[in-house]
Amino acid sequence: MVSVSKKQAECLYLVKFFLMDIKIESSWKSVLAEEFEKPYFARLISFVKAEYSAKEFTCYPPGPKIFSAFDHCPFDQTKVVIIGQDPYHGPGQANGLCFSVSDGIVFPPSLVNIFKEIQTDLSKPMPLSGNLERWASQGVLLLNATLTVRQGQAASHQNQGWETFTDAVIEQLSRQKEQLVFMLWGGFAKKKGLGIDRAKHLVLESGHPSPLSANRGHWFGNHHFSQTNTYLTSVGKQPIEW
């Protein structure tokens, strides 16, 4: 039988090996240090490594971009949190930021509806690129609940530990930060955000921007982008250039 100490050592080895391969911004490493050492995270790492190294299928986003949401939006600079579910599972789409696609990729329907709402809400033109790194660099954490997926297989990496990890991310943000804006779109995100401290953060909720929800009147007209900027300005923070 493997001793507890040996198991712990194995977990730590996997975590350190994984984090050497994957870029994650240093402030997040500090905030999430305890999470990285938990047994579930080591099991998750082992699963992800096996999936990405398998020859019979492809996984997204590319390995170096798994933690792009954190890398482009340091903990200390986070002002807004948008919660998604899974990365896009089509070729070339996922870039590690929820709802975002790489430059030159056709906008998925949900992203089209996000831009349409911004167009109506803030009188801004439809952008040329769906790459939302420009938001992340301003302090918008674009967080998927599950950070990886198999090509063409939605939800294929759910229930492997990512949800526990991203719950911890949200908990740390809620507990350690002040006056954040959380955008919760759709039932999944609303459930994910139940533990947010609403006494010190602004929580905006609406339907999901997917066509099924948006076309039923649950998305358009939510004014989340203008509300976010009004709130940020009111607490002395720089608004987001959406």
The tokens for 63 are 């390995």
What span, in angstroms and rounded, lies between the C-alpha atoms of 173 and 180? 8
Structure-derived torsion over alpha carbons of residues 111, 25, 14, 43, reported in degrees to the nearest 10? -40
Contact 70/28 with Cβ under 8 angstroms?
yes
The burial class, CB within 10 Å (0-12 / 13-18 / 19+), for 24 is middle
Cβ burial of 56 (10 Å; 0-12, 13-18, 19+) is exposed
Pairing status of strand 149-150 against strand 59-60: antiparallel
Contact 78, 180 (CB under 8 A): yes
Active site members:
86
Identity of the residue numbered 5: S
Q: 10 Å Cβ neighbour count for 180?
A: 23
